[in-house]
Amino acid sequence: MASEGLIHDTGLGAVPLATVPHQRLVTVRASYSAPAPGGYGQQHDYSQNAGNFGASSNQDDDSKKGGKKSMALHALNKIVIMWAGFFTASLFVYFMMSGGDFSFLMTYGAISRMFGFGILNVKIFSSKRATGVSVKTLQLYCLVFFFRLTSIIRHQGYLPYDKSGDWLYHVVEIMALIFTGTALWGCMAPFKSTYQGALDKFGEMHVPPGMGAVYLAVPMLILAIIVHPNLNSDFMSDAAWTYAMYLESVALVPQLFMFQKQTSGVVELLTAHFVAALGFGRLMEFMFWVYSYHELATSAGSKLPGYLALFSQLMQLVLMLDFFWYYYLAVKNATPLVLPSHGAAMGMV
């Protein structure tokens, strides 16, 4: 039997132990020794739920990253297939229609240009958008192909020496003109609402809107009339071919200028391939003229047209150096092509 002198503190005051029944004493002690359901013991469940939530968030992030990586790899595969098809066709043409002559580089450059404008048509008409495309560059290239064709169709002085100069070179240039014209029509007619005229502002000083290309077209025409080779022994034909060559060297300037004006700096994938193909074509022609520039002489025997041809083509490649670098990084890392805007990239444009 418990002694009456013992005191038990229940939290409600000191109570003599003898006045508390034995069973109730056990119940009171039990109520203080074990937490109620949903009390302290529930904290462990919260921590488990938090851990599960964190794990699910990490899984979502991983799935998003995996999705982006999968899309990047898919885009890279398309790039590889597209360029692999181009190089395969080029090799076929080389072995079947060129005879292995060095002048095939001229035809190869023309094929690359045609390939580039084909890509541009796919971009415009498949997406139904003309975003990121410079109409001024398309206008200048229409002039380039038109004046070149007026020369090479009538005379043979500036044609490749191999079999591709018999008819293939003409067909490639005609197709390039058609592709350029359809791309220009797409930008100015059905998809004009998506054309970014506010960014395509090269040369728009003291001329009507959209006419800024005259600051490139007119000076190159004057230069071609004054300084041109004499391989066709015909003033109009020689000047037309020379004008096409000089003008092509600056035709991409409005497009590069437009890239620079984009606030995001992101260049659409197919637009980047279009510009890269034009640059590659120019590189092929530059390699040809490095060894053949001495043939571009005036009627008086001056080699100045040859030197100007090399200089103009080299300047175009220099203007595109930054673009080539960022294009290489984008293809290598399977990421969008991003050019630093309003910065050092293409600062000469």
Q: Write out pLDDT tens, residues 157-183.
A: 999 988 888 899 999 999 999 999 999
Copy the structure tokens of residue 299: 């009627």
| Mean pLDDT of the residues in the chain | 80
pLDDT at 56: 52
What's the rounded Cα separation, in Å, for the pair 301 and 292? 15
pTM, two decimals, is 0.76
Instruction: Calculate the alpha carbon distances from 312 to 15, 251, 284 in Å.
Output: 108, 11, 14
Residue-wise pLDDT tens digits, 210-249: 899 999 999 999 999 999 999 999 999 999 999 999 999 9
- CA gap 73, 82 in Å, rounded: 14
Q: Is the pLDDT of residue 94 over 70?
A: yes
Q: What is the pLDDT of residues 254-273, one digit of tens each?
A: 999 998 888 777 888 889 99
Specify the amino acid at residue 305: P
Distances in Å between the Cα of 298 and the Cα atoms of 194, 195, 242, 295 are 46, 43, 12, 9
> Between the ranges 18-32, 34-48, 192-206, where is the mean pLDDT highest?
192-206
Nearest residue to 131 via CA among 270, 336, 235, 278: 270
Helix (H) or strand (E) holding 8: strand 7-9
More reliable by pLDDT, 339 or 289: 289
Q: What are phi and psi of 102, to 5 degrees?
A: -65, -30
As a whole number of angstroms, the distance between CA 191 and CA 205 comes to 26
Distance of CA 44 to CAs 41, 50, 51, Å? 6, 10, 11
CA 121 distance to own-chain centroid: 15
**DSSP structure class, residue 18:** G
